[in-house]
Amino acid sequence: MKFSERIGITQSQKELQLTTLDDDLKNGLWNIYNVCIYNLISGSNHGSNSLSGIGELFANHLWHNFFKLTIDSAPSDYYKLYYSLKKRFYEGEWYETFDLIQESYSYLVGINFFKVPQNVENSFNEILEREFSGYRFIQGIIAPITNKHEISELNNAIENTEIFSTLNGCNIHLRSALEKLSDKITPDYRNSIKESISAVESICKVISTRPKDTLNSAIDRIKGKIKIHAQLEQGFKNIYNYTSDEGGVRHGMMDTPSCDFEDAKFMLISCSAFINYLIVKANKAGINFQ
């Protein structure tokens, strides 16, 4: 963590990027585009600056099929191609930047230019994950791994639980889970998952009025107070059991559990949705949070 982040001058967390590319993300993506796409193309021309071979085919494809411009307006040398692509990369809308990356990559894969195309996808995905983007490269397509409805569930859960003092513990766990997930320097997926399920456990204890209950015990007790579908009840018990078993994230002997961004994001969104569900069900049953 940077000195400025440790003393609170700058923030180490950021919001999930769904319709934006901040400078850190855009610069990281450009660096991968430059190294994995442009440099490989220009290097294939054996030192000549004039576009020919793969470079000429690449430029003509983009200008004709992607930009929908005349081929004779395409750059005639690598320097012009570089600065033209960089200008479009940085000055376009966020989705136009993604469009350019995907089109460039897909064309080169289609002509078998890459020896190991998965390595290029992995390089882009490292940046997308590091900068907390809501998208990943999956089989040649830049695809969303979250959406506005999932984000809405999380925001609603945080807002709903901060209204009542009895749900303060639940709110703290949710915020901690989000902070650990969104830390751009050292994301802690393992403990983000732990905090997410602890948030559910906390609200269930409030409803059951038994603060020493485990999640399983609390769910069993609240069934007599609110109606929970049996499959949904069992589903969250299974999730709790997963996070508590020997191979799960809450087991003290597990030093390096296999947890990544998608696991932690799924758990946070799922637990947020269940918390919102419990609040609505409790209100319908006449249970008032204080």
Q: Look up the pTM and report it.
A: 0.68
pLDDT at 22: 95
* Structure-token match 């709903």, residue found: 160
- Sign (positive or negative) of CA dihedral 57, 62, 64, 65: positive
Q: What is the pLDDT of residue 244?
A: 66
Question: Domain boundaries in the chain?
Answer: 23-144, 148-284
Instruction: Please name the residues in contact with 220: beta carbons below 8 A apart, sequence gap of 6 or more.
Output: none
**DSSP assignment string, 90-151:** HHS-HHHHHHHHHHHHHHHHHTT--SSHHHHHHHHHHHHHHTTBSEEEETTEEEES--HHHH
- Beta carbons of 214 and 42 less than 8 angstroms apart: no
Tokens for 35?
A: 């190294």
Helix axes 148-161, 261-284, angle to 10 degrees: 50
- pLDDT at site 255: 47
Residue 274 structure tokens:
């269940």
Kindly report, residue by residue over 106-123, the tens digit of the pLDDT.
999 999 888 777 889 999
- CA–CA dist 65, 207 (Å, integer): 59
**Which regions of the chain are under pLDDT 70?**
1-13, 45-47, 184, 244-258
